């Protein structure tokens, strides 16, 4: 999992008002080359922030070994902690796609 408090702080200072979560379920589809390292069962999960003026910024990236909702509390928990670490009075809405 990767996120940067500096980027999150800049997003908040730029009027962050929404979080949009999305995931890709097939990280490395089978190839004809039969690569030895594949994570077909994993997923890439991203959380983007929507800021004032409509621009988006990627805030968090997480790669999981399996497609499972059991990872969501950890992912969103880390995002919540990061957002709470930045002094701010506004709160963002969360949209899950």
- Kindly report the pTM of this predicted structure: 0.76
Q: Tell me how crowded residue 9 is: count the other CB atoms within 10 A of its CB.
A: 17
pLDDT at residue 88, rounded to an integer: 75
Give the pairing of strands 56-64 and 2-3. Answer: antiparallel
Average pLDDT over residues 73-87: 89
The answer, yes or no, to whether residue 75 has pLDDT greater than 70, is yes
Q: How far apart are CA 4 and CA 86, in angstroms?
A: 11
Q: Where are the domains of the chain?
A: 2-26+39-96
Q: What are the pLDDT digits (tens) for 23-73?
A: 776 666 565 666 565 556 778 889 999 999 989 999 999 988 877 788 889
Long-range contacts of 75-80 (CB under 8 A, 24+ apart): 75/1, 75/45, 75/47, 76/21, 78/1, 78/3, 79/3, 79/19, 79/47
């Amino acid at each position: 999992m990767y996120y940067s408090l500096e980027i999150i702080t800049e997003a908040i200072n730029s009027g962050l008002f929404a979080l949009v979560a999305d995931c890709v379920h097939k990280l490395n589809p089978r190839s004809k080359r039969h690569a030895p390292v594949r994570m077909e069962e994993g997923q890439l999960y991203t959380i983007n922030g929507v800021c004032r003026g409509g621009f988006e910024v990627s805030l968090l990236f997480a790669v999981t070994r399996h497609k499972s909702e059991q990872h969501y509390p950890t992912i969103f928990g880390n995002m919540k902690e990061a957002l709470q670490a930045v002094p701010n009075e506004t709160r963002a809405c969360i949209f899950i796609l």
